[in-house]
Amino acid sequence: MDSIDRLIHQIYDASLDGDCWLATMKVLADLVGGAHTHLVLADLEAGASYVNLLFRGDPDGAEEYLRDYAAIDFRAPRVLASRPGLVRDERSYVSTQEARDSVIHNDFLPRFGIHNIAGASMKVDDCFGWFGISTLRRDTPFSEQQIAILGTVAPHIHRALRIAKAQHDLKDRCRQEQAVRDIVNIGLVTIRDGEVISANSAARAIFENRFLIVREGKLLCADAAARAPIARLMSGTGSSAVSVYDVEQDCRYLLRRHPTLRPDTAASRGFLLSIDISSASQSIALEQVVEFSAGAGVTTAEARALCASLSDIALADFAGDRGITLDTARKQMKSALSKLGLKSQKQLHRAFERYHTVNAYSPNGE
């Protein structure tokens, strides 16, 4: 029993490291005195295999079977109809006449010296799965004891293949998601339990600027004043969006928290953080200012004055460009601020930043 227990542990080790399957099948074949051992789990429609090996035989045999015989193997539906992990002697579902007429039994199996097959369905989801082992000699079938050992081990092989497929699919999904994220120009960071798990190429480039940095898994900011709102954003106790300004680079970062798209328990502990970077001194469109001040009775001329201030254009320069006096420009600015309930241009910038954060980057924003 100790040898069987060790084999079962080795089977589950192989589920996490595909390179261990061959050595595991060798141990199993030695334990039951078997010869050719075939283990396969494959998506026949997609032409992809998770595990496909033939031990104590020509390695090309496994590929040849999957390529040329699996789709026409009349035994496959019979095997797959049985409970996964249930070991059966092939003679229980293949008649003598079928074996005489079968191209598999008259071509493939004899060429590779395979006979007296015992095995089990290893179907996982929609994938074809099979574990089969043959005896060392044509005239010596497996004993009841050998079949009993195979019957003990086969369910564990099936569970291990299920684990291996889940691991493979998860890694493949992560690779696909990361490839998509790397195409996006906006920084995307996966956060779980308050720590950075992954970042796309745009986010990694942002971190290289050293204003927003990742240290020991935590997202930090070089600006001490910005650390508290970012911490609230990360914990979910504050706003779902935070805007921070990098004085040295003269750029602004908008950090926005997005709920995870996956409903599973592990993912529910995390979220996706987007980081958008823009020039802090970029011009503000007049249309944005009109939308911002809508309902306050601000005239078009007054909105132009607000737009100049938000674009960091001095009122004197604005007046000269518009062909009006500086005094007129000041009156327009004062009137607009009063209508908006603001006391200074500094308050105007803060109010517009809040508006920009909440509206321009809302879930339904374009």
Burial 14-25 (b: 16+ CB within 10 A, else e): bbeeeeebbebb
Query: What is the per-residue pLDDT across 126-153, written as a single tens digit (0 to 9) for each?
Result: 898 999 999 988 888 889 999 999 999 9
Our CA dihedral for 189, 192, 197, 200, rounded to 10 degrees, sits at: -20
Residue 111's region, left for phi above 0, alpha for psi from -120 to 50, else beta, is alpha
**Domain-by-domain residue ranges, the chain?**
2-172, 185-279, 286-360
Greater model confidence, 352 or 264? 352
Least confident of 112-126, 158-172, 185-199, 234-248: 234-248
Q: What is the mean pLDDT of residues 192-217?
A: 88
E-strand spans in the chain?
34-43, 48-55, 88-89, 118-121, 128-135, 187-192, 195-199, 212-215, 218-221, 241-246, 251-259, 270-279
Candidates 3.30.450.40, 3.40.50.2300, 3.40.50.10260, 3.10.580.20; correct CATH number of 2-172?
3.30.450.40
The percentage of the chain sitting over the pLDDT mark of 70, rounded to a whole number, equals 90
What's the predicted TM-score (pTM) here?
Answer: 0.49
| CB-CB contact of 302 with 336 (8 Å) | yes
CB 88 within 8 A of CB 52: no
Contact status, residue 31 vs residue 7, Cβ threshold 8 Å: yes
pLDDT for the residue 211: 93
Q: What is the pLDDT of residue 120?
A: 93
Tell me which architecture the domain covering 286-360 has in CATH: Orthogonal Bundle (1.10)
pLDDT of residue 1: 64
Query: Each residue of 16-45: pLDDT tens digit?
Result: 888 899 999 999 999 998 888 989 999 888
Burial profile 248-280: b = 16 or more Cβ within 10 angstroms, e = fewer: eeebbbbbbbeebeeeeeeeeebbbbbbbbeee
Cα 81 to Cα 265: distance, rounded to the nearest angstrom: 33
- Say if residue 267's pLDDT is above 70: no
Q: SS3 for 132? A: strand
Does pLDDT of 263 surpass 60? no
Strands, sheet with 88-89, edge to edge from the N-terminal-most edge strand: 48-55, 34-43, 128-135, 118-121, 88-89
Taking residues 281-299, what's their average pLDDT?
84
Determine the pLDDT at residue 265. 41
Q: Which residues contact 322 (CB under 8 A, 6 or more apart)?
A: 304, 329
pLDDT higher at 289 or 184: 289
Mean pLDDT, to the nearest integer, of 297-307?
A: 92
| Domains 185-279 and 286-360 are alike in CATH topology | no
Least confident of 155-159, 168-172, 193-197: 168-172
CA distance 185 to 173: 21
For residues 210-220, average pLDDT: 90
Burial class (CB in 10 A: 0-12, 13-18, 19+), 352: buried
Read off the pLDDT of residues 31-82 as tens digits, 9 standing for 90 and up: 998 888 989 999 888 778 899 888 877 777 778 888 888 888 898 888 878 8
Helix 144-183 × helix 2-16 angle, to 10°: 20
Average pLDDT over residues 283-301: 88
Q: What is the chain's mean pLDDT, rounded?
A: 84
- The whole-number pLDDT of residue 49 equals 85
Class of domain 185-279: alpha beta
d(CA 207, CA 221): 10
Instruction: Supply the pLDDT for residue 177.
Output: 66
Contact 159, 181 (CB under 8 A): no
> 87-132, pLDDT tens digit by residue?
998 888 899 899 899 998 888 888 888 888 999 999 998 898 999 9
First-to-last C-alpha distance (Å) of the chain: 65
